[in-house]
Structure 1
Amino acid sequence: MEGYGLFLALLGSALLLGFLSVVFCLVWVLHYREGLAWDGAAAEFNWHPVLVLTGFVFVQGIAIIVYRLPWTWKCSKVLMKLIHAGLNTIALIFAIISLVAVFDFHNTAKIPNMYSLHSWIGLIAVILYSLQLVLGFVIFLLPFAPIYLRTMLMPIHVYSGLLIFGTVIATVLMGITEKLIFSLKKIPYKDSPEEAMFVNTLGLLVVVFGGIILWMATRPHWKRPLEESSKLQQKIGGKHEGTEERPTKTDCKDTENSDVELNSEARKRNLNLDDSGQRSTM
């Protein structure tokens, strides 16, 4: 991998910042707010930022760059797709539970739903994320979609994933600002109380985390290389990216061992052909 040291530094920074974001959010709701509960009160609402930051930001960010991890390049594409889809499914579950928490709190407290820009964009992000996950599963994970369709939709899938991730980051920033404005009564937000400074720092952590993830995901020299079987098919049949979508193995083996196995299988086929030819002439 080109720039392997920089990649490791950015990966470590992203993991640290994502973890710190979750810790900061927990400290916020446990120390400055009412804690966590599921009783329809303000403590139930606090699950909303915690689950969004943990799943919709941190887990989704890791799911985006999981293909870029060089030590997974020896793993089959199917295995990596399962990991990618699994992480995204976890992120979606967290996001849905966070929505249930905020709607339940609003309904209990007689607060109107879906009136702010934060709520509009947040719900749109969850809906688009759900569609992205379902379409990705049907088109790229199941073996039914034709190769040309996968090739055509892959750039759209990648772009929409990054767009949704950026939208989630923006929605989080709007949400924590909105919460501070509504919650800070004794010392208003404009007077920069301790809680406001703490949560503003949380917002900066989220922004930097998102920026690192987007940078790593858009560097072409850190892209997962095509599998050997895919390259061979491209040379023989002139097929484009997408032919690696159907590997036959789901474990992580050394590529040299894989080449040896392929060569052994080829020799066996040649021997079988020779035997059959000899039998036909006898």
Structure 2
Amino acid sequence: MERDTRKQKREKKMGLGVPALPLTLGVHVLGVVAIILVLVWTINFRGGLAWDSPNKALIFNIHPVLIIIGLIVHGGEAIISYKAFPLKKEVKKLIHLVLHAIALILGIIGIYTAFKYHNESGIANLYSLHSWLGIGVIVLYGIQWIYGFVIFFFPGGTPDIRRYSLPWHALFGLFVFVLAVGTASLGFLEKLTFLENSGLAKYGSEALLVNFTAIITILFGAFVVLTALADAPAAVDDYEAI
């Protein structure tokens, strides 16, 4: 009982004192909107998606779609998975792990398509701040996932290692996610600047759509962070050891 009380107090200290559930609903809605907007942009305004095409721009279009769906939306949903439903800790842990794995895989493919587009179009790689940050994000994301898998899933660290690692793992995860949102927003700015320099109307519907998509992405990130800091619903096994 004393151990349960200590853990309950610790979990309360980790929260903002507000329930997470209403915030998770905001995350879900904003995530769906972000995906819809990036698909409308790349398909309706940019001509569609293609892995191989004479029109190399169609190859690039895969990049923002997979980054938003993967690193941003799936990554954000993975972060809030502990706060969304009152499930058993082991179930939450598995959902968290799988969603992050999907995010990482889609992110790697998304970054690869940017290199593929550049290489097939004769454009230099890694010349912009966006690209530098993108490589940094995917490397840190991979390190974070591997560490989480080894320490918290399999083979699993000792109880002391897990206990002391947990707050740092959560903090570092939020840092990488915020960096990913910032990098994605910078990518929208960079691409829109290129398009406008090529003649795209600065106040046209496509420009407004890109800016609005970036704003929705930032709002999604903000709701994820707030949800991560809010109080989780009572779990089935609230006081099970970490």
Tell me whether 1:164 sits opposite 2:180 in the alignment: no
Report the residue type matching 1:57 in the other structure. Answer: I
Tell me whether 1:118 sits opposite 2:133 in the alignment: no
**Match for residue 214 of structure 1?**
225
- TM-score by length of structure 2 reads 0.86
User: For residues 147 and 191 of structure 2, what CA distance do their matches in structure 1 show?
Assistant: 34
Give yes or no for contact 1:78–1:141 (8 Å, CA) kept in 2.
no
Q: How does 1:127-138 map to 2 (within 5 A)?
A: 127-138=139-150
The alignment partner of 2:52 has SS state of coil
- TM-score by length of structure 1 reads 0.75
User: For residues 9 and 119 of structure 1, what CA distance do their matches in structure 2 show?
Assistant: 35
The alignment partner of 1:71 has SS state of coil
Q: Where do 5+ consecutive residues of structure 2 fail to align?
A: 1-11
Task: Give the drift of 1:227.
Answer: 3.9
The alignment partner of 2:86 has SS state of helix
**Match for residue 11 of structure 1?**
24
Q: How does 1:33-48 map to 2 (within 5 A)?
A: 33-39=46-52, 41-48=56-63
Task: Give the drift of 1:178.
Answer: 0.5
Q: 1:229 to 1:186 in 2, by over 3 A?
A: closer
- Aligned residues: CA RMSD: 2.0
> Percent identity, aligned pairs only?
35
Larger CA Rg, structure 1 vs 2: 1
Q: How does 1:21-60 map to 2 (within 5 A)?
A: 21-39=34-52, 41-60=56-75
User: For residues 177 and 239 of structure 2, what CA distance do their matches in structure 1 show?
Assistant: 32
Task: Give the drift of 1:8.
Answer: 3.5
Give yes or no for contact 1:68–1:223 (8 Å, CA) kept in 2.
yes
Q: 1:194 to 1:64 in 2, by over 3 A?
A: same
Aligned length: 224
Give yes or no for contact 1:68–1:224 (8 Å, CA) kept in 2.
no
Q: 2:76 aligns with which of 61, 72, 75?
A: 61
For 1:84-135, what per-residue CA distance to the aligned partner results, in whole angstroms no more than 9, with x for missing partners?
Answer: 1000000001001101111111001110000100000111000000000001
Report the residue type matching 1:92 in the other structure. Answer: L
